[in-house]
Structure 1
Amino acid sequence: MADDFELDTDDLERRMEGAMSNLRTEFASLRTGRASSSMLEPVQVEAYGQMTPINQVGTVNVPEPRMVTINVWDKSLVNKVEKAIRDSGLGINPQMNGTIIMLPIPELNEERRRELGKVAGQYAEGARVAIRNVRQDGMQTLKRNKDNMSEDDQKFWENEVQTLTDTYISKVDKALETKQEEIMQV
């Protein structure tokens, strides 16, 4: 037996961190009753024949805690931006003022807060699944290379992968807990 196998834990960690980064992006798009420019990131506008993020057709600002404004650069796109926001499912009613679109952020009611908490839980579960898939990939790599390492080394690497997985799963749980507290805060 040769003892020259070493698992690339940096790659596994990078991929797990990618799942965490994706989770943070999804959490940022959840409306918590406070204005945030990131809540508009998933909204796409049809501009110049293709779907374009809102921040590429205008300047997004948060002038007040409960107001987001979009200063649309091309006057011909104002109505398309307004329509994209209305159709986005954010539950926000845009108000027009020339090329500026104002988005007053209404208070969230208890039922909507609970719904958002469930959505956050679904996002977190998606991140957990992604992390477990990375773990499974690491374990399969170990199985494929078991002839190149001793049993002790195999146990060592399996423990390393499991420890890394547990660390990232707990990060997901902590992020979910923080986000749900933020959502339920009145």
Structure 2
Amino acid sequence: MTDVKTYLDAAEEKMAMSVEFLDEALATIRAGKASARILDPVRVEYYGSMVPISNVATITTPDAKTIAIQPWEKSMFKEIEKAIQNSEVGITPENNGEIIRLGLPPLTEERRKALVKQAKQEAENAKVSVRNARRDAIDGLKKAIKAGMPEDVEKDGEASVQKIHDKYIKKIDDIFNAKEKEILTV
């Protein structure tokens, strides 16, 4: 029986990681209101290594349309500005010598639809990962039959894998629906 549990645990762990990855991916998609997470993928050079902006500056959101970046060292202003301009954030930074501001422009209807499409693709990728984890677990269970596992135990294991799969697919749908609503809310 421990064989079935091993396959179930491995499948659930992979599925949970897929959902976690989806959460991270969707956090970087801009949804009309300012979020410091938009800058997560942006890296700056700091003493020879590439680091996230949050490692060299304080990032705050003073209001729903602004992200403020306060570098800890004056020398980082140019590096941070350059990194943001070269990234896919798509916002031009404004520097007043004290702080770098990113003013988030309102999203057009066309841009909102493109962001929903991008979010849907991320959700679809997560679902594929969950399905792959289910397939791997079921394949493992089928191989275990050849190694002497009773067929009814294997069938119960498959049913359990399917239940776990359904739970994670629903989680992914819920996360996507929440993000879609957030993006489309004007």
TM range (shorter): over 0.9
**CA 1:4–1:11: 2 relative to 1, 3 Å:** closer
Q: List aligned pairs for 1:1-186, cutoff 5 A.
A: 5-8=3-6, 9-147=8-146, 148-186=148-186
- After TM superposition, give the deviation of residue 78 of structure 1 in Å: 0.8
* Whole-angstrom CA distance in 1 between matches of 2:62 and 2:24: 22
In the alignment, is the contact (CA less than 8 A) between 1:93 and 1:103 conserved in 2?
yes
In the alignment, is the contact (CA less than 8 A) between 2:81 and 2:93 conserved in 1?
yes
**In angstroms, what is the RMSD of aligned CA positions?**
1.3
* Whole-angstrom CA distance in 1 between matches of 2:75 and 2:32: 30
What amino acid maps onto 1:75 in structure 2?
Answer: K
In the alignment, is the contact (CA less than 8 A) between 2:30 and 2:38 conserved in 1?
yes
In the alignment, is the contact (CA less than 8 A) between 2:120 and 2:176 conserved in 1?
yes
| SS of residue paired to 1:7 | helix
- After TM superposition, give the deviation of residue 4 of structure 1 in Å: 6.5
Q: Identify which range, 47-56 or 144-153, moves more after superposition.
A: 144-153
1:3-31 CA-partner distances (Å, limit 9, x unpaired): 66433223321221111111011111010
Question: Identity over the aligned pairs, expressed in percent?
Answer: 41
What amino acid maps onto 2:54 in structure 1?
Answer: N
* Whole-angstrom CA distance in 2 between matches of 1:99 and 1:36: 20
Q: TM-score, normalised by structure 2?
A: 0.94
* Whole-angstrom CA distance in 2 between matches of 1:137 and 1:97: 54
Equivalent pairs, count = 184
In the alignment, is the contact (CA less than 8 A) between 2:10 and 2:137 conserved in 1?
no
**CA 1:13–1:4: 2 relative to 1, 3 Å:** closer
* Whole-angstrom CA distance in 1 between matches of 2:125 and 2:2: 35
- After TM superposition, give the deviation of residue 99 of structure 1 in Å: 3.9
In the alignment, is the contact (CA less than 8 A) between 2:93 and 2:103 conserved in 1?
yes
In the alignment, is the contact (CA less than 8 A) between 2:4 and 2:154 conserved in 1?
no
* Whole-angstrom CA distance in 2 between matches of 1:115 and 1:145: 45
In the alignment, is the contact (CA less than 8 A) between 1:46 and 1:52 conserved in 2?
yes
What amino acid maps onto 1:33 in structure 2?
Answer: G
| Unmatched runs of 5 consecutive residues or more in structure 1 | none
1:69-126 CA-partner distances (Å, limit 9, x unpaired): 1101121121110111112121211100114111111100001000100100111011
